[in-house]
Amino acid sequence: MEFQIIWFILWGVLWAVYFMLDGFDFGVGMLHGFIGKNEAEKSLAIKTIGPVWDGNEVWLITAGGATFAAFPTTYALMFSYLYSALLIILFALILRGVAIEFRGKGESAVWKKVWDLAIFGGSFIPSLLFGVAFGNIFKGLPMDAQEYHGTLFTLLNPYGLLTGIFFVLLFLVHGSLWLSIKTKGDVKTRSEQLAGKMWYVLAIVAVCFLIYTSFATDLYNNFIIMPLWFIIPILAVTSLLSIKIFAGKKWFVAAFYSSCILIVMVTFTGIVGLYPNLIPSNIDAQYSLTIFNSSSSPYTLKIMTIVAMIFVPIVIAYQIWIYRIFRHKLSTSDIVKDTENY
């Protein structure tokens, strides 16, 4: 039981870190065509994520791998029940990666425009569908002992779509704050202004999400049983307010870190609310997939824990080093017209 709980926590950490890191990549991908008013500015926006976006996606692979190894039954049924949505996400992520790499390989306006659209779509679609997928997991899937009684379109219910919109706005604000601390000049100014405007929309949607969650899901039950856990959503709300306060004072580094905390706390609010479920059934709780009825053997979990203790710190150290290497701010004067440009 101890290892199952450990891996449930680690599973949540992996998803939280992924959304925190790839979230600003998604945000920049959605915003670069609007923030950038010319080719140099668009290239500048993409260049801010060029050295780190693929490393950030490692956490998605790790989260998927952890699900497969620690909770194989959940992995199998999740990729069966949510197959269409997850496949669309996969294709969108592939498209985004290809677009980021190929955008700078041609000089024509049409070439740039096509890949700009691909970067936007490859950022917006995963942002929306990750939210839709997790919203439906929070809500519970219509599944029983026989099968999953739903389709791709049943996932597009009001609560799932609201969660998807919430994710998109989280990443848009996150991405605009990233641009505000990584760029100089007009791109920085526009990013700061956009972050301030989008914050109000995010705050409104966040309130709607919290209220709707109390009606559409059972996520709050664990918090009511153990009130101490309310510290997590309280930290999420505090972080959301801190973004506005710090941005108002032009402390955009602090605002960006507050956005990081917000995404992590939002993710953990969902994770704590799910426990011990991984995928709850909204037909009958006995058909829910939990950390206890879908986990690997204790021995497997023990070995995986040892492996994780060795390699996860290495990955973290590597990413800290990469972010330190590329910590300097960029301006349009740094954009060099060669085949290595983004």
Question: Residues 130-177: pLDDT tens digits?
Answer: 999 999 999 999 998 878 888 888 999 999 999 999 999 999 999 999
Q: What's phi and psi for 281, nearest 5 deg?
A: -95, 135
Contact call for residues 142 and 199 (beta carbons, < 8 A): no
pLDDT greater than 80 at residue 337? no
In whole angstroms, what is the distance from residue 327 CA to residue 229 CA? 35
Over residues 204-214, mean pLDDT: 96
pLDDT (0 to 100) of residue 21: 95
Whether 285 shows a pLDDT value over 80: the answer reads yes
SS3 340: coil
Alpha-carbon distance values, 333 to 7, 44, 103, 339 (Å): 47, 9, 19, 16
- Tell me the mean pLDDT in the region 80-91: 90
Structure confidence at residue 121 as a pLDDT band (50, 70, 90): very high
Kindly state the average pLDDT of the residues 113-125.
Answer: 96
Average pLDDT over residues 186-211: 96
| For range 205-212, the mean pLDDT | 97
Between 332 and 128, the higher pLDDT residue:
128
Q: What's the per-residue H, E or C state across the chain?
A: CHHHHHHHHHHHHHHHHHHHHHHHHHHHHHHHHHHCCCHHHHHHHHHHHCCCHHHHCHHHHHHHHHHHHHCHHHHHHHHHHCHHHHHHHHHHHHHHHHHHHHHHHCCCHHHHHHHHHHHHHHHHHHHHHHHHHHHHHHHCECECCCCECCCCHHHCCHHHHHHHHHHHHHHHHHHHHHHHHHECCHHHHHHHHHHHHHHHHHHHHHHHHHHHHHHHCCCCHHHHHCHHHHHHHHHHHHHHHHHHHHHHCCCHHHHHHHHHHHHHHHHHHHHHHHCCEEECECCCHHHCEECCCCCCCHHHHHHHHHHHHHHHHHHHHHHHHHHHHCCCCECHHHCCCCCCCC
Segment 7-15 mean pLDDT? 95
pLDDT band at 57 (very low <50, low <70, confident <90, very high): very high
The residues with which 290 forms a beta bridge, in sequence order, are 277
**Up-side HSE of residue 253: CA atoms within 13 Å toward CB?**
4
Identify the band that residue 34 occupies on the pLDDT scale cut at 50, 70 and 90: very high
Q: pLDDT higher for 266 or 103? A: 266
Q: At a CB cut-off of 8 Å and minimum separation 6, what does 182 contact?
A: 48, 329, 330
Strand spans (E) along the chain: 277-279, 289-290
Would you state the pLDDT for residue 312?
Answer: 87
Which residue in 340, 243, 324 sits closest to 55, CA to CA?
324
First to last CA, the chain: 48
Question: Residue for token digits 């990549």?
Answer: 25
Q: Against a cut of 0.85, is the pTM above it? A: yes
In the chain, what percentage of residues exceed pLDDT 70?
A: 97
Confidence category of residue 335, pLDDT binned at 50, 70, 90: low
